[in-house]
């Protein structure tokens, strides 16, 4: 396979980020070179290789890559001869030593064949001139090849090296299966949290659906109602789960003693007092069992990424800073998150990123970002991956570590298509596993199909989960469990 040329994605070779128009081409085993001159924005130009003639369907594309300096890059696998669509995006880092990367095209490509592979070196983290070296572009049939991912290889090493036989360990539960990746969380409300005795063992994290919110705990100023949350958390902690605190400051359902306050200083005081007291209560009552808090929820609106007016209209971004600082004062160890939805929408995500950048710049204590993950079978896993990569890039660029939590995962599936649900859950968790260095917790917003907030909106049952209403595993469960 050879790299035949390079193209700027705006159709000209002159898009600021410039790649040498002629590449040194290669045949298998030989080295191709992509030179780049980085001086502007984004992943804007690529080198591509024509790989038509490859086998149809689910394959691994393997390629060895290195660069003159470590560089982030995106790899895109394209199928179809005309009206091409990108099937797989991956954000990778190319190091200075050759390393083999494998990209699975996935089931979505069954019956189609890959036509091109594109490599976009990124401007990020560097400027000037460099070369990416490419060799050994090959493909392998997914079903005929056994691959070890990086994690299992390094596990193996810890046990004394490659030749040691793998000792099979019986793994029954999701959170065990994901032990080397991230926590697996469930969410339930006061009316149903006791209903999952048969499924709870899959999870090691728990979120109260509503009971830690302002509209339950803080309905009346100065009188904190912890009763429901305390019962639920006690029950879950006794069953070995850690707790995601959700959520301190949310415009939706906020009580009038907060929303009616028109004085900035007073509002900040109220927010400070509330956040401090609530975080302190759970720290004092459950020690380190509450491992994180969504300090602020949904501050950015869906219209062009503007701030929502509630609180912001009176206090500007200071309301957010105050909430995080108060939470940190109350508990120096709990991880503090900003949580929002539609992070796969670029405009909204960029607004969130600008907000996070400002918080980080001003030294506001923030440890991570929650992507709610209210998806549908129509969701593009590629876009979800791009959102994750964007937060990873922000962390790197600001030199400020950020954990990513998927906080409220559900998949709208009103047609109740087991196969569609299986496909999308498989794709999403493949993305999550690939980013397990930054993703530390994944929670579904419910457990099994008989209870979901989606079912409350009058469109019938959304069938959004891994378990059906009788608590049986659906094919989607296997898509998440079998890897
Ligand atoms: C939802 C709950 O599931 C419902 O029971 C409640 O009536 C409304 O809130 N984003 C969030 C969650 O951050 O707190 C929301 O939970 C769903 C959307």
- Which atom of ligand 1 lies at the shortest distance from residue 341's CA? 10
What single DSSP character describes residue 55? Answer: P
Q: For residue 417, what are the contacts with CB-CB under 8 A and spacing of at least 6?
A: 377
Could you identify the atom of ligand 1 that is nearest to the CA of residue 374?
18
| Strand, helix or coil for residue 42 | coil
As a whole number of angstroms, the distance between CA 103 and CA 58 comes to: 10
CA distance 334 to 438: 17
Q: Is 31 a catalytic residue?
A: no
User: How far, in Å, are 106, 119, 270, 304, 424 from residue 149 at the CA level?
Assistant: 16, 22, 50, 40, 21
Give the integer Cα–Cα distance in Å for 72 and 122: 6
For residue 211 and ligand 1, the question of a CB distance below 6 A is answered with no
To test the ligand 1 pocket, which listed residue (190, 408, 451) has its Cβ within 8 A of the most ligand atoms?
Answer: 408
Pairing of strands 403-412, 368-371: parallel
Containing H/E element for 478?
helix 475-481
C-alpha radius of gyration, the chain, whole number: 24
What pLDDT, on a 0 to 100 scale, did the predictor assign at position 99? 86
What pLDDT score does 102 carry?
75
The whole-angstrom separation of Cα 347 and Cα 473 is 37
Interatomic CA distance for residues 75 and 87, integer angstroms: 10
What atom in ligand 1 is closest to the CA of residue 250? Answer: 13
Within 8 A by CB and 6+ apart from 222, the residues are none
Q: What pLDDT score does 158 carry?
A: 37
User: Of all protein residues, whose CA lies closest to atom 15 belonging to ligand 1?
Assistant: 209
Tell me if 372 sits within 8 A of 339, measured CB to CB. yes
Does residue 205 line the site of ligand 1, with CB under 6 A? no
Tens-digit pLDDT profile for residues 369-428: 999 999 999 999 999 999 999 999 999 999 999 999 999 999 999 999 999 999 999 999
Hey, whose CA ends up nearest to atom 4 of ligand 1? 453
pTM (predicted TM-score): 0.69
Residues whose CB is less than 8 angstroms from the CB of residue 422 and which lie 6 or more positions away in sequence, other chains included:
474, 475, 476, 478, 479
Q: Which residues contact 391 (CB under 8 A, 6 or more apart)?
A: 353, 356, 369, 371, 402, 404, 438
Q: What is the pLDDT of residues 238-260, one digit of tens each?
A: 999 999 999 999 999 999 999 99
HEC string for 316-335: CCHHHHHHHHHHHHHCCCCE
Side-chain-side CA neighbours of residue 376 (13 Å): 6
Q: Is 453 in the pocket of ligand 1 (CB under 6 A)?
A: yes
Ligand 1 contact, 372 CB (< 6 A)? yes
Q: What is the pLDDT of residue 447?
A: 98
Cα(142)–Cα(150) distance, rounded to whole angstroms? 17
383: left (phi > 0), else alpha (psi -120 to 50), else beta? Answer: alpha
pLDDT of residue 435: 94
Q: Which residues pair with 179 in a beta bridge?
A: none
Tokens at residue 109, please? 């490509």
Long-range contact set of residues 184-187: C-beta below 8 Å, sequence gap at least 24: 184/442, 184/443, 185/244, 185/441, 185/442, 185/443, 185/444, 186/443, 186/444, 186/446, 186/447, 187/408, 187/443, 187/444, 187/445, 187/446, 187/447
Cα gap 84→312, rounded to integer Å: 43
Torsions phi, psi for 273 (to 5 deg): -65, -45
Given 209, 211, 298, 403, the catalytic residue = 298
CA distances from 479 to 109, 407, 434 (A): 17, 19, 15
pLDDT one digit per residue (tens) for the chain, 483 residues:
333 333 333 222 222 223 332 333 344 455 666 666 554 444 545 566 655 555 566 666 777 788 888 877 777 777 665 445 555 667 788 888 988 887 776 655 556 666 667 777 665 444 556 677 777 666 666 554 433 222 222 233 333 334 333 444 578 899 999 998 999 999 999 999 999 999 999 999 999 999 999 999 999 999 999 999 999 999 999 999 999 999 999 999 999 999 999 999 999 999 999 999 999 999 999 999 999 999 999 999 998 899 999 999 999 999 999 999 999 999 999 999 999 999 988 899 999 999 999 999 999 999 999 999 999 999 999 999 999 999 999 999 999 999 999 999 999 999 999 999 999 999 999 999 999 999 999 999 999 999 999 998 788 999 999 999 999 999 999 999 999
Catalytic (active site) residue 76 = no
Is the CB of 340 within 6 Å of ligand 1? no
Burial, 275: exposed, middle or buried (Cβ in 10 Å; 0-12, 13-18, 19+)?
buried
Q: Which of 199, 316, 331 is nearest to 264 (CA)?
A: 316
Work out the number of other CB atoms within 10 angstroms of the CB of residue 262.
9
pLDDT value at residue 144: 47
| 207 CB within 6 A, ligand 1 | no
């Amino acid at each position: 396979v050879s790299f035949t040329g390079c193209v700027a994605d705006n159709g000209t070779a002159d898009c600021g980020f410039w790649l040498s128009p002629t590449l040194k081409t290669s045949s298998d085993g030989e080295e191709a070179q992509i030179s780049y001159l980085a001086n502007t924005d984004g992943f804007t130009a690529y080198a591509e290789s024509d790989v038509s003639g490859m086998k149809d369907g689910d394959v691994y594309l393997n390629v060895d890559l290195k660069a003159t300096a470590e560089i982030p890059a995106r790899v895109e696998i394209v199928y179809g001869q005309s009206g091409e669509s990108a099937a797989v995006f991956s954000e990778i880092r190319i190091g200075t030593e050759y390393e083999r990367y494998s990209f699975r095209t996935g089931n979505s490509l069954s019956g189609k064949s890959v036509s091109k592979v594109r490599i976009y070196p990124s401007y990020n983290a560097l400027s000037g001139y460099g070369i990416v070296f490419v060799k050994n572009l090959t493909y392998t049939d997914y079903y005929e090849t056994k691959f070890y991912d990086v994690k299992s290889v390094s596990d193996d090493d810890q046990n004394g090296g490659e030749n040691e036989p793998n000792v099979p360990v019986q793994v029954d539960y999701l959170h065990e299966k994901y032990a080397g990746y991230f926590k697996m969380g469930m969410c339930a409300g006061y009316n149903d949290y006791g209903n999952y005795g048969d499924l709870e063992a899959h999870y090691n994290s728990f979120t109260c659906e509503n009971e830690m919110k302002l509209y339950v705990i803080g309905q009346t100023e100065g009188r904190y109602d912890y009763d429901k949350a305390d019962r639920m958390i006690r029950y879950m902690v006794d069953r070995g789960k850690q707790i995601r605190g959700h959520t301190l400051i949310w415009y939706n359902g906020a009580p009038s003693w907060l929303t009616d306050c028109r004085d900035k200083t007073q509002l900040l005081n109220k927010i400070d007092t509330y956040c401090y007291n609530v975080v302190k209560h759970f720290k004092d009552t459950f020690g380190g069992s509450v491992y994180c808090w969504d300090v602020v929820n949904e501050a950015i609106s869906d219209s062009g990424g503007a701030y929502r007016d509630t609180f912001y209209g009176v206090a500007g971004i200071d309301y957010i800073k105050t909430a995080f600082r108060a939470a940190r004062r109350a508990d120096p160890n709990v991880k503090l998150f900003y949580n929002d939805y539609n992070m796969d929408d670029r405009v909204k995500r960029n607004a969130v990123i600008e907000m996070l950048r400002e918080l980080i710049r001003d030294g506001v204590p923030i440890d991570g970002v929650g992507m709610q993950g209210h998806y549908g079978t129509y969701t593009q896993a590629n876009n979800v991956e791009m959102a994750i990569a964007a937060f990873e890039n922000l962390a790197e660029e600001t030199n400020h570590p950020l954990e990513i939590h998927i906080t409220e995962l559900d998949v709208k599936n009103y047609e109740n298509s087991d196969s569609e649900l299986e496909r999308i859950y498989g794709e999403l968790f493949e993305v999550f596993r690939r980013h397990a260095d930054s993703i530390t917790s994944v929670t579904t917003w419910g457990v099994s199909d008989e209870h979901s907030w989606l079912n409350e909106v009058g469109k019938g049952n959304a069938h959004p989960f891994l378990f059906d209403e009788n608590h049986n595993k659906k094919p989607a469960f296997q898509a998440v469990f079998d890897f």
